Structure 1
Amino acid sequence: MCGIAGIFHYGTPKPVDPRRVERMADALAHRGPDGSGVWTAPGVGLGHRRLSIIDLAGSPQPMHSVDRRAVIVFNGEIYNYRALRAELEVGGARFHTGGDTEVILAAWQRWGPGCLERLDGMFAFALYDCERRQLFLARDRFGVKPLFLARLSDGSMAFASELKGLLAHPLLRRVADPLAVEDYMTWGYVPDHRSILKGVEKLPAGHFLLLEHGREPPPPRQWWDVSFEHRAKGSTADLSAELLHRLREGVTSRMVADVPLGAFLSGGVDSSSVVALMAEASRDPVRSCSIGFDVEAVDETGYARQVAELFATDHRERVVSPGDIVDLDRIAGIFDEPFADASALPTLRVCELARENVKVALSGDGADEALAGYRRQMFHHREEQARGFLPQALRGPVFGTLGKVWPKADWAPRGLRAKTTFLSLAESGAQGYARALAILDAPSRARLYGEGLLRERGDYRAENPLIALMETAPARSGLDAAQYADLKFWLPGDILTKVDRTSMAVGLEAREPLLDHRLVSFAASLPERQRIRGRQGKWLMKHTMERCLPRDILYRPKQGFVTPLAEWFRGPLAGTARGIAASERLVDSGWFDRRALARIAEQHISRQYDHGRVLWQLVMLDKSLAGLDLRG
């Protein structure tokens, strides 16, 4: 796990200043505190910061191939590198190190871009082929590891693991993209199809880019995708056995490390399953850690403790309170772009706790997306069944009218909050799911925006890319399309961004065994009844793990990594909530209406409405824009 950065002149191959590449890489020192290196040649420069996990002393980067014809900087882990190495050696390849980086070099020389399909892992890398004078940029299947790109005015493309690496380049323009603000206010993060800065892009998950000197950069090419078009056949017992095999395969493959290894344990189904399978495969006690809250309603440490005792793990826990988020500037600085998933706070704290004893930690991320574990997926599944009975010509007028007149009741029990359901049923499945995912719908956003942002946004709506993704998904049903969107849109933009930045901020490598691509591909083939049954999402996984875990862990209501923002903004952070209406960056820019910001702060503090998530969005946007030092 590391940080990478570099410069490539796709026009005339001008000399690259190694000090410039070094500054870009050093901006990522937190990702790789164990070593650094820079390599330059006419028209290209590669920089690296290393976090040593495998072959601790023998794999410095940038690394050359044995024949010196290729050089690479690599961020991530290749879990099947030993098997690949053996295959390559049979074909005549030679190796000087014992790590996975050199295997990628040899795989490129044997198979070219086709090498990606053979790599089982999480990665973002830049490989320069000195003979072909090509730069090969690639990102893993799900986007576990990030890669930012920017074309610069001198005819070069700069790249880095985080935006702060690009910000170290003096030619990068620091102009915010108003469409990214629209995206952010809808989803709480800036999706992978956009960046907060104009001219900055993200290489999409499962894509590569092949650059050559003297040629304009082509568009990225997709090398992998998940498909929901096929259905697995077999009895529940057979499918359960296959799932268990895939779960074990994902966990054990990610337990390879030359440093201490542990696991995050929340007490939910996913992290508990990972710990259970780790304990099954390990001779030593699993090192587990969890974070709790000083608000009892959202604290899950009791469940985590129950699982830790069941598997005799070496368990540690810590409680988070409002005082832990005083340094909002640090949280904003970790992400560079505005990021409003409030579970980033406990995720950062659990990473800090884990790093005190281990250098690698396995997480439970990915199962909800792949196996239909989110409540919104279950609601969407039911809504799709209703859509199947009623034609659009009837649904639109009837449910649209009900949705408009029904009162919004965030305070009421879930069964009485029918407004969103009615509005969703009046729309297509893709439109309805976009509504379910959005923190703020389009009318609510418009009420907050100032004239400047409304003008610059024009006809664009943040929901449009998600709707298009679902409408063209390789899927057989509405549930398939929703899960596809979660894997392609939500997962890399929110979940994996959160885990990557918070873990890397403290020099910890986080691994996601439930995102093993073989496991996800199998999960995507499961019949809907094996994913959702009654009110249970992720049904087959829960059924399968009954052999290991108690029912009160498997079948209790899903809670997630919840942060008590609503209470904090009415207590210790009330002043912060009121302060957003005075923000020059949000108001004087013309992006937001001052009176609207003041109104939602007072409504929240007085308990008229719960605006906790929106207030957190605005606070983090303000902090992030300040950290970016925007210029005209």
Structure 2
Amino acid sequence: MFRWDGGPVAGGFAPAPAADALRQWRSPDGGLWLAAWGAEHRGTYTGWCVDAEAGLVLVADASLYDRDGLQSALGLAGPVLDAPTLLLRGYQRWGEGLPQRLDGDFAFVVCDLRKRCVFAASDPMGMRPLFHRLLPGGGFAFATAPEALAACTGLDARIPESRLLEPLFNAEQLAHFEPEITGIQRLLAAQWLRADARDVQVQRYWTPGQTRPALASTDVDGWVEALRWHLGEAVRKRLADGVRAGVMFSGGLDSSAVLALGCGYVPAGRLQAYSVLDRGNPACPETRAIDRVLAATGVPATCIDVADMQEQAAGALDALAASPRFVSGRNGFLPLFDRMAAASGVDVMMNGIDADALFFYEDLLERQIRAGGYAVALRCARKQDRMAGEAWMVPLVRRLRYTAHLPPVVRNGVRRWRGRASEWPRLHAALLRTDACEALGLRARARRHLALLRRPPPPAGGLPTQTLHGAVNLDGIGRFHARSRHFGVEMRCPFLDRALIDFAAWIPLELRLRNGHLKWILRKAMTPHLPHAVAWRGDKFHPGSHFDRVMLQPVLEQVVRDFHGSGPAIGRWIDRGRFLAAAQRWQAGQIEAVWELKMLLLLEHWLQHNADKVAFGR
């Protein structure tokens, strides 16, 4: 907390258990108070650096991947300095131009004790969160967790009842842009902030694709080789500080690429895979892919078999109960793997987020068709549907044949009309009762969510897309980071490397979808590192839903019993008859019923242990 007038800040707040290390610092005049708690993550610095002579204090949560290069650019000799010292020296040299020069995951705040102002910045993809609040008495408060900021500044840290239910109708992205705790704001990805007693300025300092590669669109081999190098560098940098790393390994192309490249940069025994497979289903494509990659790389793995996982199911429920929110990723095994990794000494968890948005973004087909590529897109769509075993792309391409050429204002108008028409159906599909929706204003929240998802006008010509900074992607990054950090593991995402994103933004459309293969260029680039059957697989079936079925079975049975008694925790919002009908379909083995009830059961279990974190009636 920082007082503009230099007056003393009331402090002493320690939100962590007594067993956690608490570090505190106050400025000589008492106008700035800082606190950090918890164990340090290897390769990450959370703390502050003070330059008393300059009157500057820098507070950082940062992993910098090119400290050597940054120190060289600053002209500083000697051993490589730590991250906060480099950040402070960089700010003194470049001011608000500093974030543009950084390679890493970071959130930092510079407090100027003489000018009585602050400067803050977040990394290009929002890997490290930063929340802030203007203090009523004149000042600025900030923290990496909203609950900590609320506790420091006297706000109610509980989740309002109406905000708690947003994930039930797939509107959880609202919380990223409109934090659930009233009075708190988040500094979004690739933004810097400058604040003093008179004003607050926020500005975006980076957009994907700022530097166009010097490659001709027809140089296929050049694009493939350059992508292989960029992705390899993204993985290498995230392992270069000697961390012990894990990989959330699904058997899909993206996580397979990270695992295969990662094993070339760390000594044996310092990389571990975490996978869910299904030995009870010999035809499971994910299990086959996992086995092939593990055999090819020799990386040890911690695997959960959904055919025999009662012990792990109980552990997953325990991890869910300990999570800060009931939704931190759409699969129940994710908190369990984070907890298991931390217990085994893993410092960093890597994954394949968000290669989908990087290589096959939402307006790719639309742009291809507008460029005159309808026939090519249709041929690719037919091949893709055959490989995937379901017809999803051909109908989409045929619809886009007529809609892609409509003016953006018309397309957006149609989307708004369809969104309005879907508000009540979305709430109904979540099994929410009409009276609960009206009492909590959920229809307005659904409308606000649709406005948040509204796409900007499509880029012209060869300009790159801005999909990576969309609401779904940024919220997913934020939730995954919060979950991993909560369990003591640092999340690092090679596909969210800034240099890789800048390069990939310019990859020609025809190299993204080719011969029916989504992410064709990534498959081609990874062919030397992965078994052919994995690099070019067209099927996709993740056993995560079967994990959730086993994990949540006892929760379902208890809710059914409670509905015949005093009622479950979710009973105040849920249509009892429709829930019980879906429960019967679940018990009959319909996987669709698992998808329908999963979020409700996750919420029920979380509420059984965390009801005190909810402000009911708000």
Shorter-chain TM-score: which interval?
0.7 to 0.9
Amino acid at match of 1:247: L
Separation in 2, partners of 1:383, 1:497? 28
Structure 1 residues 314, 621: closer, same or farther in 2, change over 3 A?
Answer: closer
Q: Any idea what the Cα deviations from partners look like across 1:123-153, whole Å, max 9, x if unmatched?
A: 1222212232222222111111122334555
Matched, 1:471 2:439: no
Q: Any idea what the Cα deviations from partners look like across 1:543-586, whole Å, max 9, x if unmatched?
A: 01111211111122234573326733884332255379676865
Aligned to 1:194: 178
Structure 1 residues 153, 65: closer, same or farther in 2, change over 3 A?
Answer: closer
Structure 1 residues 327, 162: closer, same or farther in 2, change over 3 A?
Answer: farther
Would the aligned equivalents of 1:151 and 1:157 in 2 still touch at CA under 8 Å? yes
Structure 1 residues 580, 302: closer, same or farther in 2, change over 3 A?
Answer: farther
Runs of 4 or more off by more than 6 Å in structure 1?
94-97, 228-231, 383-389, 416-438, 579-585
Would the aligned equivalents of 2:328 and 2:480 in 1 still touch at CA under 8 Å? no
Aligned to 1:522: 503
Amino acid at match of 1:8: F
- The Cα of 1:88 is off from its aligned counterpart by 1.5
- The Cα of 1:381 is off from its aligned counterpart by 4.6
Matched, 1:185 2:173: no
Separation in 2, partners of 1:608, 1:285? 41
Separation in 2, partners of 1:435, 1:564? 36
- The Cα of 1:161 is off from its aligned counterpart by 1.9
- The Cα of 1:423 is off from its aligned counterpart by 9.3
Amino acid at match of 2:344: E
- TM-score, normalised by the number of residues in structure 2: 0.79
The one of 224, 227, 242 aligned to 1:243:
227
Structure 1 residues 565, 239: closer, same or farther in 2, change over 3 A?
Answer: same
- TM-score, normalised by the number of residues in structure 1: 0.77
Would the aligned equivalents of 1:141 and 1:205 in 2 still touch at CA under 8 Å? yes
Q: Percent identity?
A: 21
Aligned to 2:380: none
Matched, 1:275 2:259: yes
Aligned partner of residue 132 in structure 2, secondary structure: strand
Matched, 1:539 2:520: yes
The one of 427, 431, 437 aligned to 1:445:
427
- Matches for 1:409-448 after TM superposition, within 5 Å: 414-415=390-391, 442-446=424-428, 448=432
Aligned to 1:628: 613
Separation in 1, partners of 2:146, 2:10? 20
- The Cα of 1:253 is off from its aligned counterpart by 1.5
Separation in 2, partners of 1:183, 1:139? 25
Matched, 1:618 2:594: no
Aligned to 1:406: none
Structure 1 residues 110, 500: closer, same or farther in 2, change over 3 A?
Answer: same
Separation in 1, partners of 2:567, 2:97? 50
Aligned to 2:2: 8
Would the aligned equivalents of 1:531 and 1:537 in 2 still touch at CA under 8 Å? yes
Would the aligned equivalents of 2:119 and 2:192 in 1 still touch at CA under 8 Å? yes
Structure 1 residues 549, 259: closer, same or farther in 2, change over 3 A?
Answer: closer
- Matches for 1:121-520 after TM superposition, within 5 Å: 121-151=104-134, 154-169=137-152, 171-173=154-156, 174=158, 176=160, 178=162, 181-182=165-166, 185-188=169-172, 190-212=174-196, 214-216=197-199, 218=200, 220-227=202-209, 233-234=216-217, 235-282=219-266, 284=268, 287-293=271-277, 296=280, 300-319=286-305, 321=309, 323-326=311-314, 331=319, 335-339=323-327, 341-343=329-331, 345-346=333-334, 348-349=336-337, 352-353=340-341, 355-372=343-360, 377=362, 381-382=364-365, 414-415=390-391, 442-446=424-428, 448-454=432-438, 456-457=441-442, 459=444, 461-468=447-454, 470-472=455-457, 474=459, 484-494=466-476, 496-520=477-501
Matched, 1:18 2:11: yes
Show structure 1 runs of 5+ residues with no match.
Answer: 1-6, 390-411
Show structure 2 runs of 5+ residues with no match.
Answer: 373-387, 404-409
Separation in 1, partners of 2:574, 2:115? 50
Separation in 1, partners of 2:40, 2:392? 53
Aligned to 1:401: none
Aligned partner of residue 275 in structure 1, secondary structure: helix
Separation in 1, partners of 2:355, 2:151? 36
Would the aligned equivalents of 1:180 and 1:194 in 2 still touch at CA under 8 Å? no
Structure 1 residues 381, 453: closer, same or farther in 2, change over 3 A?
Answer: same
Q: Any idea what the Cα deviations from partners look like across 1:267-296, whole Å, max 9, x if unmatched?
A: 322222223323334465652222224574
Would the aligned equivalents of 1:18 and 1:38 in 2 still touch at CA under 8 Å? no
Separation in 2, partners of 1:140, 1:125? 9
- The Cα of 1:78 is off from its aligned counterpart by 0.8
Structure 1 residues 604, 441: closer, same or farther in 2, change over 3 A?
Answer: farther
Structure 1 residues 580, 127: closer, same or farther in 2, change over 3 A?
Answer: farther
Matched, 1:555 2:503: no
Aligned to 1:113: 96
Would the aligned equivalents of 1:47 and 1:62 in 2 still touch at CA under 8 Å? no
The one of 550, 560, 571 aligned to 1:568:
550
Separation in 2, partners of 1:160, 1:225? 25
* Matched positions, count: 577
Amino acid at match of 1:165: A
- The Cα of 1:197 is off from its aligned counterpart by 3.1
Would the aligned equivalents of 1:293 and 1:299 in 2 still touch at CA under 8 Å? no
Would the aligned equivalents of 1:39 and 1:45 in 2 still touch at CA under 8 Å? yes
Cα root mean square deviation, aligned: 4.3
The one of 77, 81, 84 aligned to 2:63:
77
Separation in 2, partners of 1:531, 1:55? 34
Aligned partner of residue 100 in structure 2, secondary structure: helix
